[in-house]
Structure 1
């Protein structure tokens, strides 16, 4: 592990990766902020739609009031002829499709006439809008309900019909079809997967957009679900909660206009994943770009590190070559730039002193023993801070060298020397040279030559 981390290339790559961490952290931080902002924006958009739906409901109730006041004054409504009255209301309903039904209720609660023919004898005396219209002698708004005549979710409103002396003789009513909220949702351009729902004060679904025919939501009770309990408790606001399909939704809800007993609530739900999708795409794109940049930087770092390593290795080789140049020329002054002052020679020549001074001394010993000698570098291998040299000593031995008397002959020896470079200078050295042998291959009749163990001087 130490040698792996000691590699210049690896350290350089790690440095590049570490330098990219702040950018990645900033990217994640910004993405989190964008997601939070996307959630906030989605809830605000849903809130605006819910408020707008409630405002449209108020507008429709004002229009309904005007309609009922006008109908209450018509002789067809006050005249008591059910056929004429029903025909008039049916014609009017066909021209104003916002209403599921228009009708007149007698004081005992029975239907006197209706635009939509009732399925049979129908009594509406228990309806809030009817009771309040009679009690207040004014426009009254009832409950959100499923109509007994139409079978549709409606908000019914009533207005008293009086005779010539001001006595209430009936109540004219209009059933506002909540289907308009489906049209509102379709035209609002809600994000994909969004849902508009209207629930009454008991949590029963009155409107659900979209509402698939094969699994209609109308009339289904959502009482007890977390989001509906929040809606019924708070009346207006925003929330995040799981939907019936298990997905997380961002909700905004508002109370719809109506009587105290007829409260209903409209909610707009946007899937959280849809709301944050643009932020997720932006994060993914940014992450991809950062990945590409990181890849390019890492490739450049790898190549750059390789170049740096090669440059350093070549520089280390050059130091060793300069060392051998000193042995060949005898010039020791350049060694001040090549060898560290505290150089450690692990295989010194006999009598060689430590450090740079000792290396210069070794050069002198070598030149004295081999005036024409040279240490030919046959191969240099550099790795990390080490340089290994395969060398060949050649020269005429004119003086004693490592205990061997002068042979006056051309001698040669092969060896391997290793150097460690630190701080741009040679700091340590190890040497293993073979025995000196005549270059002409003729060996005198004498004991075998001993190996030359001391190496920096050959």
Structure 2
């Protein structure tokens, strides 16, 4: 009753303005809430898509590790390798590298780390790799091992190497076989994923040193270590995950990561990180919301004008 007395006492023009307010305020709330909901849905969709990208890249990397292990383990059984025949091994390694251009070099070392044969020319008795992670791990475990970001001493290019021990019939270490994987091959992985410019991909070794980044950025390219907080996020107990943070490029991104291991009991030898710029995710929903708000604003102004003129 009291509300009716108030509205009945108002002039006709003010009644129309009050009616317009009652109509347009709920519409404003609906547009804003709908826009926020669409932004949340787009963020969730982007998070799921980023995880799918990670799974695809991880599957390709796992195939590289499997194929490399098969190649080196087969070589380790050859009589020429077992008897350390440098001339015969050199020819075999060159032919094998020609058939597998993803590797920049294939070589073999004696147990003390001295390279005695390689698919690429190198000065004899001049290269020792006993300090390299992949060599030390292969000797320690007598199994397939992965290295870390290095600049090769055999052909002086950035790489990640894989190693496999050569054992005699008594399981004594005879030699170590090494295959150097071309870091540029990761570009092929990413091209298969058909990513948009909103995404970036980083692949690092076990210490968080970048092996590859897409798109190229010299400031945070190969050989540059991840920030300590980023590495802490990806190197925890979970082998995969997703989080948000502002990157070194100043862009707020959604990140997904995956740890890769040579076997379930080993520590990660590789990390793959995919990220997407959050403003790119929300751009479509934000523009739609502002467009709808603009239409509502124009309609409200027109309605107020008409109410004021003819009320």
CA separation of 1:246 and 1:119: change in aligned 2, threshold 3 A: farther
Where structure 2 has 5 or more consecutive residues not aligned to the other structure, the ranges are 1-8
Distance (Å, rounded) in 1 between the aligned partners of 2:80 and 2:298: 79
Report if aligned partners of 2:198, 2:276 keep a CA contact under 8 Å in 1.
Answer: yes
Q: Pick from 134, 140, 144: which aligns with 1:140?
A: 144
Deviations 1:340-393 (A, max 9, x none): xxxxxxxxxxxxxxxxxxxxxxxxxxxxxxxxxxxxxxxxxxxxxxxxxxxxxx
Deviation at 1:66, TM superposition (A): 1.3
Distance (Å, rounded) in 2 between the aligned partners of 1:118 and 1:26: 71
Tell me the residue number matched to 2:130. 125
Deviation at 1:42, TM superposition (A): 0.9
Deviations 1:63-112 (A, max 9, x none): 11211122123344345343442343233223212223211111111112
Q: Pick from 223, 230, 233: which aligns with 2:227?
A: 223
Pairing of 1:142-161 with structure 2 (within 5 A) = 142-149=146-153, 150-154=156-160, 156-161=161-166
Report if aligned partners of 1:191, 1:274 keep a CA contact under 8 Å in 2.
Answer: no
CA separation of 1:11 and 1:171: change in aligned 2, threshold 3 A: same
Deviation at 1:183, TM superposition (A): 2.1
Report if aligned partners of 2:209, 2:226 keep a CA contact under 8 Å in 1.
Answer: yes
Pairing of 1:322-401 with structure 2 (within 5 A) = none
1:263 corresponds to 2:269: yes
Q: Pick from 156, 160, 170: which aligns with 2:175?
A: 170
| More helix, by proportion | 2
| More strand, by proportion | 1
Deviation at 1:295, TM superposition (A): 4.8
CA separation of 1:117 and 1:68: change in aligned 2, threshold 3 A: same
Report if aligned partners of 1:106, 1:112 keep a CA contact under 8 Å in 2.
Answer: yes
CA separation of 1:14 and 1:202: change in aligned 2, threshold 3 A: same
Report if aligned partners of 1:200, 1:206 keep a CA contact under 8 Å in 2.
Answer: yes
CA separation of 1:135 and 1:227: change in aligned 2, threshold 3 A: closer
Distance (Å, rounded) in 1 between the aligned partners of 2:123 and 2:30: 67
Tell me the residue number matched to 2:194. 189
Deviation at 1:199, TM superposition (A): 2.5
Using the size of structure 2 for normalisation, the TM-score is 0.83
Instruction: Give the structure, 1 or 2, with the largest relative contact order (CA under 8 Å, sep 6 or more).
Output: 2
Paired residues in the alignment total 297
Q: Aligned to 1:276, what secondary structure does the other structure show?
A: helix
Pairing of 1:221-260 with structure 2 (within 5 A) = 221-224=225-228, 226-233=229-236, 234-258=238-262, 260=266
Distance (Å, rounded) in 2 between the aligned partners of 1:201 and 1:97: 24
1:280 corresponds to 2:286: yes
Tell me the residue number matched to 2:4. none
Distance (Å, rounded) in 2 between the aligned partners of 1:292 and 1:119: 78
Report if aligned partners of 1:27, 1:287 keep a CA contact under 8 Å in 2.
Answer: yes
Where structure 1 has 5 or more consecutive residues not aligned to the other structure, the ranges are 310-458
Considering only aligned residues, what root-mean-square deviation do their CA atoms show, in Å?
2.8
Tell me the residue number matched to 1:63. 67
Larger radius of gyration: 1
Deviation at 1:17, TM superposition (A): 3.2
Deviation at 1:244, TM superposition (A): 0.6
Q: Pick from 200, 207, 214: which aligns with 1:209?
A: 214
CA separation of 1:90 and 1:11: change in aligned 2, threshold 3 A: farther
Using the size of structure 1 for normalisation, the TM-score is 0.58
Report if aligned partners of 2:144, 2:165 keep a CA contact under 8 Å in 1.
Answer: no
Tell me the residue number matched to 1:48. 52
Distance (Å, rounded) in 2 between the aligned partners of 1:70 and 1:302: 89
Report if aligned partners of 2:210, 2:224 keep a CA contact under 8 Å in 1.
Answer: yes
Report if aligned partners of 1:143, 1:262 keep a CA contact under 8 Å in 2.
Answer: no
Tell me the residue number matched to 1:105. 109
CA separation of 1:242 and 1:109: change in aligned 2, threshold 3 A: same
- Which range moved further: 6-15 or 17-26? 6-15
Distance (Å, rounded) in 1 between the aligned partners of 2:242 and 2:43: 11
- Which range moved further: 294-303 or 111-120? 294-303
